[in-house]
Amino acid sequence: MKKPALLMALAFISLSACAQTAQNITAAYAGMKFRVPGSPLIVGSIGANNDILLIKYSDAIGKRYISFSTENTLETGGCGRAEFFEATLSEKEIYGCDQASIESFRSVFVQGADAGTWKIANRVYYYFMSAQDSSFVFFQSKDGNLIKLESDFLDSDGFRQMVAGS
The residue ranges of every structural domain in the chain are 23-70+112-163
pLDDT band at 11 (very low <50, low <70, confident <90, very high): very low
Q: In whole angstroms, what is the distance from residue 56 CA to residue 66 CA?
A: 7
pTM: 0.83
Q: Are 164 and 150 in contact (CB under 8 A)?
A: no
Write the pLDDT tens digit of every residue in 56-104. Answer: 999 999 999 999 999 999 999 899 999 999 999 997 777 778 999 999 9
Q: Are 67 and 52 in contact (CB under 8 A)?
A: yes
C-alpha dist (Å) from residue 73 to 49, 78, 88: 11, 12, 17
What's the average model confidence in pLDDT over 18-28? Answer: 72
